[in-house]
Amino acid sequence: MKISSIETRVVGAQTPGSVLSDRNYVFVLVHTDEGLTGLGEATLEGHDRSVRAAIEEMADLVVGEDPTRIEYLTQVMTRQMFWRGGVIKGTAVAGVELALWDIVGKSAGLPVHQLVGGAVRDRIRVYTNGWSVGSTDPVELRDRAQAAVAAGHRAFKFSLVLPSWPLRDAELLRSVATAAAAVREAVGPDAPLMFDGHGRYDADQAIAIGRVLEDVRVYFYEEPVQPGRLGDMARVAQALDLTIAAGERLASKEEFVPLLSNGAVSVVQPDLAHCHGFGEGMKIAQLADAFGAWIAPHGPMSPVLTAISTHLDAVAPNFLIQERLHLDDWRENVIRTPLKVEDGFLPLPTGPGWGIELDDDICSAHPRVSVQVPRLFRADSSVADW
């Protein structure tokens, strides 16, 4: 069996009035001369054209090759060209690599997780994200959280996109405290509740916000500062009685080493569509396990990536919880059998490969759109305001 061609399919994922719609999904289809086609995802918000161009460059390296030689082809795509690249290249490699795993699973007639040791759990715990985006009003946040509970979710992550002054912004602190209390009231005293800082804060502000989050018993505090600021991340972790998580912006296992070895994080969050794919994701999970850390894969993209991530979740002994975007529109149906959360869990995937197929009609009905990224910098605000 040989790779005959690589196709990218871009689906405009914007829906007016919906949450997290500032993106185009990028799906990768690897075709073979035996008629098998593998599916991967290479969505990178705001950079779909760059990712597609990188995939076109890589096609010259892998077309004609045996698709079952996944590690070899991953190394070729990563190392053959002089520049190893960052997240754009990591995303392009991931899209192809994920599709190769799908081909191997389909060829064997087995789910991918059975090809790499088999499941160590019988269902996948998930949390919902995206339900809070666009709101800072405590009443509205409470109502949205209650709606997410009604939809079958039992764990929740929220964030507040608010301007911030560089140091000790009292107004921001009050906003976070009020919002966190409202969400905690809505989801109950025991539900895992996570807060995402998106790296917006300096270490002092992050610690001050963390004190508030301690009061509402947050499950983990994600990206309180930029993950590249290792000293700041470690200082936040040492100052708070909270679990610190990070990793969605990191593209390779090497980038996780300093965060783990310095005790800056206890939960790592690789995104399989950004970190060079499933194989690298497994290595990151094993690396985290060696440091006694947990893995909670990042995944606020399409249901394709969520389904793919459940295979890593199934086999990683140190798996904690899986992110899933809260969707309530056509995007749920981009795969022919939509994922359904029941009492906070997804079932183990059972079909060959990833166990999913794109719905071609849905994809065709939503062509690529020009993404309008909001401008968050203001002349009177701080550089943390993003």
Query: Is 93 in the same domain as 148?
Result: no
Query: Is 143 in the same domain as 32?
Result: no
**Which of 60-74, 340-354, 359-373 comes out lowest in average pLDDT?**
359-373
Residue 22: give its domain's CATH number: 3.30.390.10
Mean pLDDT, the chain, as a whole number?
Answer: 93
Query: Is 87 in the same domain as 149?
Result: no
* pLDDT tops 80 at residue 322: yes
**Which of 2-16, 179-193, 266-280 comes out lowest in average pLDDT?**
2-16
Q: How far apart are CA 325 and CA 268, in angstroms?
A: 18
The structure's pTM equals 0.95
* Count of residues making up the chain: 386
Q: How far apart are CA 326 and CA 15, in angstroms?
A: 13
DSSP string of 256-308?
HHHHHHTT--SEE---TTTSS-HHHHHHHHHHHHHTT-EE-----S-HHHHHH
Task: Show which of 78, 109, 140 is a domain's final residue.
Answer: 109
Q: The dihedral of CA 168, 212, 266, 199: what is its sign?
A: negative
Within a domain: 302: yes
* pLDDT tops 90 at residue 14: no
Query: Is 84 in the same domain as 189?
Result: no
**Confidence label for 373 from pLDDT (cuts 50, 70 and 90):** low
Query: Is 105 in the same domain as 119?
Result: no
**Which of 21-25, 106-110, 151-155, 266-270 comes out lowest in average pLDDT?**
21-25
Residues classed as catalytic:
198, 298
Q: 355 is written with which tokens?
A: 């166990």
Query: Is 87 in the same domain as 121?
Result: no
**Which of 13-27, 92-106, 144-158, 310-324 comes out lowest in average pLDDT?**
13-27
* pLDDT tops 60 at residue 258: yes
CA end-to-end span of the chain: 47
Q: How far apart are CA 179 and CA 131, in angstroms?
A: 13
**Confidence label for 385 from pLDDT (cuts 50, 70 and 90):** very low
* pLDDT tops 80 at residue 37: yes
Within a domain: 292: yes
Query: Is 84 in the same domain as 218?
Result: no
- Across the range 35-39, mean pLDDT stands at 98
Q: How far apart are CA 166 and CA 161, in angstroms?
A: 15
Query: Is 142 in the same domain as 157?
Result: yes
More confident: 130 or 51: 51
Task: Show which of 59, 78, 109 is a domain's final residue.
Answer: 109
Please state the domain count of the chain.
2
**Confidence label for 264 from pLDDT (cuts 50, 70 and 90):** very high
* pLDDT tops 60 at residue 381: no
Query: Is 63 in the same domain as 121?
Result: no
**Confidence label for 161 from pLDDT (cuts 50, 70 and 90):** confident
Q: For 203-231, how does the pLDDT look when each residue is reduced to its tens digit (9 = 90+)?
A: 999 999 999 999 999 999 999 999 999 99
Within a domain: 369: no
Q: How far apart are CA 183 and CA 135, in angstroms?
A: 12
Q: Which residues of 131-154 are buried (b: 16+ CB within 10 A; e: fewer)?
A: bbbebeebeebbebbeebbeeebb
Within a domain: 225: yes
Query: Is 103 in the same domain as 119?
Result: no
Task: Show which of 57, 88, 109 is a domain's final residue.
Answer: 109
* pLDDT tops 90 at residue 21: no
The domain of 280 spans 114-354
pLDDT of residue 328: 81
CB-based contact 310:346 (threshold 8 Å): yes
Q: For 335-347, how does the pLDDT look when each residue is reduced to its tens digit (9 = 90+)?
A: 999 999 999 999 9
SS3 383: coil
Query: Is 70 in the same domain as 126?
Result: no
Query: Is 210 in the same domain as 306?
Result: yes
